[in-house]
Amino acid sequence: MKHSHAVIIAAIIGAVGAIVAALIIANRAQEIKIDIIDMETREKILGRVFVDTSDIEFHNTADSPATVTLRRGDRFIRAESPGYEPTIIPIANLASDRNIALRPLAVVATLLSDPVLPPGEPLSLAGLSIWPANAITATRGSQSNERIINTTRTIIDAGFVIDNLSILRGRTLILEFSNTDVSTFADDRMVKLEYSDNHIVEPDNISLIFNGFIPAHDTSSGGGIEFNIPENFAGRLNFVFYQATLRDLSIIAWYR
């Protein structure tokens, strides 16, 4: 009998120890390294990082990232740098490379003071078809020519098709991309455009990478990526994502 009591007591002590260990692991602080970069030049800059509303500063330099302590329940990262517009990013949306891009205040002031003329006529993105089914979501943005793209997981070779775009024949298509920093793209491959049996549509003002993909980056308002569409265009465009996790990726389309 004494032996059985000892076994039971030992089992209880072991179970309690396991629970305590699990609680310690669940609440243990996690350290991540974050670089603050210039949105225009993509170079590292001096700055400060905060977690949620805390006043505790984690410093980032041009040579070394900020080592930030995260605890269970933390939700946001705030990043600041002199001469730049501060930003707040959900921790869940941090890019895999832990970079946070800040926009220079000079650019912000220019955007506020100088109205940006649209690069062309809005191109409606209504009626798109997603492939494979349910791989991504594409919701209407603030205007008919904008779509906000999201995924619930990393997709491999997925996208959407838009038909009835014969209005583009012999014209220039302009695409603006924004919010790219909170999405992840394998090998920096953002998206590629295809028409007529997987023929790649090549832009005029940037160079493509890796099998015809547009490199991942935000475009400036009024200065998107331009594609000359041939006269024999059949009216069907295919947007292909290679291997990506998309979080509120904005695509705005124009033509002229």
199 bridge partner residues: 195
Q: For residue 43, what pLDDT is reported?
A: 87
Distance CA 94, CA 77 (A): 9
Cα dihedral across residues 227, 106, 36, 139: positive or negative: negative
Residue 242 or 27, more confident: 242
Residue-wise pLDDT tens digits, 51-62? 877 777 778 777
Tokens found for residue 237: 């465009």
The domain spans of the chain are 30-113, 121-255
Enclosing H/E stretch for 107: helix 105-113
Distance CA 149, CA 147 (A): 6
Residue-wise pLDDT tens digits, 102-132? 888 876 555 555 556 677 889 988 889 999 9
Reply yes or no on whether the pLDDT at 253 is more than 80.
yes
Domain 121-255: which topology? Jelly Rolls (2.60.120)
CB atoms within 10 A of CB 225: 19
Tokens found for residue 233: 């265009």
Average pLDDT, the chain: 81
Q: For residue 24, what pLDDT is reported?
A: 41
Reply yes or no on whether the pLDDT at 80 is more than 60.
yes
CATH superfamily membership of 30-113: Carboxypeptidase-like, regulatory domain (2.60.40.1120)
The residue with tokens 């090998």 is 187
Reply yes or no on whether the pLDDT at 6 is more than 70.
no
Residue-wise pLDDT tens digits, 8-48? 545 544 544 444 444 444 456 778 888 888 888 888 888 88
Residue-wise pLDDT tens digits, 181-230? 999 999 999 999 998 778 899 998 888 888 899 998 988 766 789 999 99
Lowest mean pLDDT among 7-21, 88-102, 140-154: 7-21
- Going from the C-alpha of 245 to that of each of 20, 65, 153, 184, 230, the distances in angstroms are 35, 24, 6, 5, 32
Reply yes or no on whether the pLDDT at 141 is more than 80.
yes
Task: Kindly report whether the global pTM for this prediction surpasses the value 0.85.
Answer: no
